């Protein structure tokens, strides 16, 4: 999935700010993409979280697991 496709998926969802990270990933259809990225491309995983509006300290904690 390209960055543009990820942005498009995120833009379809309203009220994302009040959701948990897992909820954001799920409603945007990015759960599987994120899980794969955590294994093979941590930079892509970070970018997905950034595009979802997750703060930098949280991104670092999530990706470091």
Tell me the residue range of the domain where 47 lies. Answer: 3-64
Residue 52: per-residue pLDDT: 96
Query: What value, to the nearest 5°, has the Cα angle with vertex 37 and ends 33 and 38?
Result: 120
pLDDT at 30 (0 to 100) = 97
Secondary structure (3-state) at 55? coil
Cβ 61 vs Cβ 46: under 8 Å = no
- What's the domain count of the chain? 1
Per residue in 40-65, pLDDT (tens digit) is 999 999 999 999 999 999 999 999 97
Rg, the chain, Cα only: 11
Q: What is the pLDDT of residues 1-52, one digit of tens each?
A: 999 999 999 999 988 888 999 999 999 999 999 999 999 999 999 999 999 9
From CA 47, how far away is CA 24, in angstroms rounded? 14
Count Cβ atoms below 10 Å from residue 59 Cβ, excluding itself.
18
């Amino acid at each position: 999935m390209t960055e543009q496709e990820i942005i498009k998926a995120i833009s379809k969802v309203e009220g994302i700010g009040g959701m948990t990270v897992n909820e954001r990933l799920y409603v945007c259809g990015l759960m599987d993409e994120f899980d794969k990225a955590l294994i093979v491309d941590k930079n892509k995983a970070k970018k997905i979280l950034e595009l979802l509006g997750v703060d930098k300290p949280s991104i670092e904690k999530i990706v470091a697991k």
